[in-house]
Copies of this chain bind each other. A is one copy, B any other.
Amino acid sequence: MVARRTDAGAVPSRGEPRARPVPPVAPAPPPAPAPVRDKGGVRDGAPTRERLLDAASALFAERGYERATVRDIAARARVNQALLFRHFGSKRALFGEVVSRDGTEQLRSTAPERLVETVLASMLAPPTADGGDTGSSRSLETLLRSVGAGDEVSAAVTALGDDYARALATLSDADDSGLRADLALAWLVGIGLMRVVVAKQPLAGADADEVGRLVVGALGHLLEGMAPHHGQGPGHG
């Protein structure tokens, strides 16, 4: 913990750039810190990088981009925060890697005609209370909590949204299938927002199956290629 501005007696003036004291020599007492990493393991930074990605994924989903600080991410990963910048360069770059890693996972593993109910199910699922997380289901939550965080973040949101909308657009033969897909995606995003972020009742406490039935039913007229709702049971082969 740093304790700067303790009581040095010299109060820096507000509008003037500080003269940058720059200590001539750094004593640097070697306290011999205990290396907490794997004993006997080979030298490898990959696990550290992986843990940073996992911690960032969880924290971005929980708090959004701005409220997830690099200090908290590093602490969650049990990694020195300077390593975060060595591995990823900046917080924004880390965010980009997280989004591109988790974001397309759900998309790649789900057929378009089941995308709506799959996304709904993962968003409506209980948040698993523990730190343990599925990872893929939280990509949308990450984006939800990060809206309005800045242009660069909005770009990542837009990119992922484009991927989802493209998949949904294949479900309609209409001339304006792109717009219809955007509207379907907007509904998913709105439901996630009201449920996860705002926790609006009765939506937040509603049964996931019932929500899925209502949404898929109403969307059936927008995206005629969508499969009917199947609840939690296995799909037909």
Contact = CB atoms under 8 A, between A and B. Distances in A.
A77 to B, nearest CB: 17
Given A67-B148, A219-B218, A200 B19 contact: no
A123 B203 CA distance: 23
A198 B147 contact: yes
Interface string A166-201: 000000000010111011011111110111011111
Given A146-B148, A193-B147, A214-B179, A154 B199 contact: yes
A114 interface: no
Interface of A: 2-5, 16, 18-19, 45, 63-64, 66-67, 85-93, 144-148, 150-152, 154, 157-158, 161-162, 165, 176, 178-180, 182-183, 185-191, 193-195, 197-203, 206, 210-211, 214-215, 217-219, 221-222
